[in-house]
């Protein structure tokens, strides 16, 4: 059976996963993004058309006939986007919440959509989507997770069942992010500071000696590039992590600091300074950061 899929939000995640799914020629996909119809953001609609994705008029139009609904919006708008879908949701649909938000936000969203009869799935995307397309590794939980597993497998997607409870899959991702996004922020700070004295290579060599199993030059370039390209979104995710930690009575010292450094890179406009170029060259990235700083 060919799945009918709806994407609510058609940014990087929606486009990347759609590209992979359509490459296998299986589903019919429709999408809606609140930026559709905005002259300044016509690129989103052009991207959808280029992929062969149908354009929906609004949230309700997108989800009404779908078998699987993928919610891939910004963290700050996930609950409102889900609310906007409610009139079009029906029993038998699976509602896949793929947003990087707190376990509590996932629980709230699940409760919001439950009266419609859809089966909610808490999806935690555990790696950058771009290299994997639709095969990006995901952890899933919630009342619809068990039913999703064979259907996801038929679509070529890699979704690992965690729990029938909402929130556990997202908790795994969030608390892993304290380490991953924290290390990104640390490497941005360390390499930018090291460049002031021209000692980046010596710092990396020292790290290599202490942790010989890691290629620190390669890792620094990769992680700094992730911040440069996605700092704004990563900062938002870390603020969600910080709020989650506060909710359980743990002061979010590291999570909050990571959010600040990630946001700092976004606010500097380093990505714009590179003029669309994507590079994992550590020296080039640090040079761009320093230029944005006026150093």
Tens of pLDDT, residue by residue over 23-75, are: 887 689 999 999 998 876 678 899 999 999 999 999 999 999 999 999 999 88
How much is the pLDDT for 25?
Answer: 76
Asked if residues 187 and 216 have their Cβ atoms less than 8 Å apart, the reply is: no
pLDDT of residue 43: 86
Global pTM reads 0.87
The pLDDT value recorded for residue 41 is 66
Q: Identify the burial level of 275 via C-beta atoms within 10 angstroms of its C-beta, where 0-12 means exposed, 13-18 middle and 19 or more buried.
A: exposed
What is the SS3 assignment for 108? helix
Q: β-pairing, 119-125 with 138-141? A: antiparallel
Three-state secondary-structure class, residue 31: strand
Domains of the chain: 4-165 (3.40.50.720), 170-293 (1.10.1040.10)
214: phi then psi, degrees, rounded to nearest 5: -115, 135
Nearest Cα to Cα of residue 161 among 177, 148, 175: 148
What tokens were used for 253?
A: 């010292």
Query: What is the CA angle 216-222-224, rounded to 5?
Result: 95
pLDDT of 1 reads 53
Q: What is the rounded distance in angstroms from the CA atom of residue 100 to the CA atom of residue 78?
A: 9
Q: Which residues of the chain have pLDDT under 70?
A: 1, 26, 40-41
Q: What is the rounded distance in angstroms from the CA atom of residue 157 to the CA atom of residue 263?
A: 31
Q: Which helix (H) or strand (E) holds 68?
A: strand 68-71
What pLDDT does residue 40 have?
A: 65
User: Whats the size of the chain, residue-wise?
Assistant: 295
pLDDT of residue 118: 98
Residue listed under structure tokens 């609004």: 58
Tokens 């009342």, residue located: 143
């Amino acid at each position: 059976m060919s799945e009918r899929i709806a994407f609510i939000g058609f940014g990087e995640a929606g486009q990347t996963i759609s590209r992979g799914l359509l490459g296998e020629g299986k589903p019919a996909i429709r999408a809606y993004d609140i930026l559709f119809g905005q002259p300044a953001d016509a690129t989103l609609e052009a991207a959808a058309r280029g992929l062969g994705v149908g354009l929906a008029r609004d949230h309700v139009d997108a989800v009404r006939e779908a078998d699987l609904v993928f919610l891939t919006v910004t963290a700050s708008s996930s609950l409102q986007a889900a609310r906007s879908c409610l009139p079009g949701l029906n029993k038998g649909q699976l509602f896949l919440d793929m947003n990087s938000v707190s376990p509590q936000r996932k629980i709230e969203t699940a409760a919001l959509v439950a009266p419609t009869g859809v089966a909610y799935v808490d999806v935690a995307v555990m790696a950058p989507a771009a290299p994997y397309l639709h095969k990006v590794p995901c952890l899933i939980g919630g009342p619809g997770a068990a039913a999703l597993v064979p259907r996801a497998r038929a679509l070529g997607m890699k979704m690992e069942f965690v729990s029938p409870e909402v929130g556990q899959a997202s908790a795994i991702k969030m608390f892993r992010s304290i380490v991953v996004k924290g290390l990104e922020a640390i490497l941005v700070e360390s390499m930018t500071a090291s460049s002031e004295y021209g000692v980046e290579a010596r710092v990396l060599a020292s790290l290599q000696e202490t942790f010989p199993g890691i290629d620190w030059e390669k890792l620094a370039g990769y992680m700094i590039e992730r911040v440069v390209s996605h700092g704004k979104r990563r900062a938002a995710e870390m603020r969600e992590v910080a709020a989650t930690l506060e909710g359980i009575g743990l002061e979010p010292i590291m999570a909050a600091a990571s959010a600040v450094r990630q946001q700092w890179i976004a606010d500097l406009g380093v990505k714009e300074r590179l003029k669309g170029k994507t590079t994992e060259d550590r020296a080039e990235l640090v040079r761009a950061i320093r230029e944005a700083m006026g150093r």
